[in-house]
Amino acid sequence: MSTAAPSPAPGWRSRGYLPHRDEYGLLQAVTFRLADSLPQEKLQALRHSLSTLPQTTQDLERRKQIEAWLDAGIGCCALRHPALAATVETALLHHDAQRYRLLAWCIMPNHVHVLLHPLTPLAGILQSWKSYTGRWALARNAELELGVPGKSLWMREYWDRYIRDETHLENVIAYIHENPVKAGLAPAAALWPWSSARHLGTPSSSSAPPT
């Protein structure tokens, strides 16, 4: 599940309120989302409502609620447009086997799930994906009627979690592939056009985010 690190591991760091473990040799499950997919007032209200719970419970409940909001299709959902979804998928595949190794991915209307083995710093990988696709989308926003508000396609932050063991790996792959089914966008994972499930097949899974 891991390989020898090509250089010293950067380890834990934080940008804002989300900590990131950017370390070579770890498989990482990453979710990044459109800038308008979750209004800040919703996130602030959620943090307040969960503030009396233990930290581990807060983290799990926060993720569950955020996943539910994302699947409900908040915001412009510009990734519904086939041209933009294809551009994002092309960006994910472009440096596969060079800067990282892709294991699974799924492009939803307002967010993207990726499971990867980084071979270079994770933050740089995410920045590359966001920068290229963001410029592409904003240049064609009016032409394609994407409805992207403001000057940024993506939320600055992203969520990542390193894979602990084989069971966790299987659960994460299943969750990524089943996301369109859970959201009511496709009758089967392999029928969603913007997912690795159509290439790799998908195991059954629960609808809860893997912990």
Cα–Cα distance between 118 and 101 in angstroms, integer? 6
Domains and CATH numbers, the chain: 20-200 (3.30.70.1290)
In whole angstroms, how far apart are CA 132 and each of 25, 50, 91, 125, 126? 26, 36, 8, 11, 10
Query: What's the confidence (pLDDT) of residue 45?
Result: 84
Q: For the chain, list the strands marked E by DSSP.
A: 11-15, 18-22, 28-33, 100-107, 111-118, 159-162
Regions of the chain short of the pLDDT cut 70:
1-24, 200-211
Instruction: Yes or no: say if 49 and 17 are a contact pair by the CB < 8 Å rule.
Output: no
Cβ neighbors of 115 (< 8 A, separation 6 or more) are 27, 28, 29, 30, 102, 103, 104, 105, 163, 169, 172, 173, 176
Assess contact for 141 and 175: CB atoms under 8 A. no
Q: Do the beta carbons of residue 146 and residue 81 sit within 8 Å?
A: yes
Write down the pLDDT at residue 68: 84
Residue 130 structure tokens? 């966001």
Amino acid (one-letter) located at 15: R
Residues 122-160 pLDDT 10s: 999 999 999 999 999 999 999 999 999 999 999 998 999
Would you state the pLDDT for residue 208? 58
* Other beta carbons less than 10 A from residue 92's beta carbon: 21
Give residue 44's pLDDT.
80
pTM for this predicted structure: 0.80
Q: Give the pLDDT confidence of 154-169 residue by residue, as tens digits.
A: 999 899 999 999 999 9
Is residue 144 within 8 A of residue 84, CB to CB? The reply is yes
- The whole-number pLDDT of residue 10 equals 39
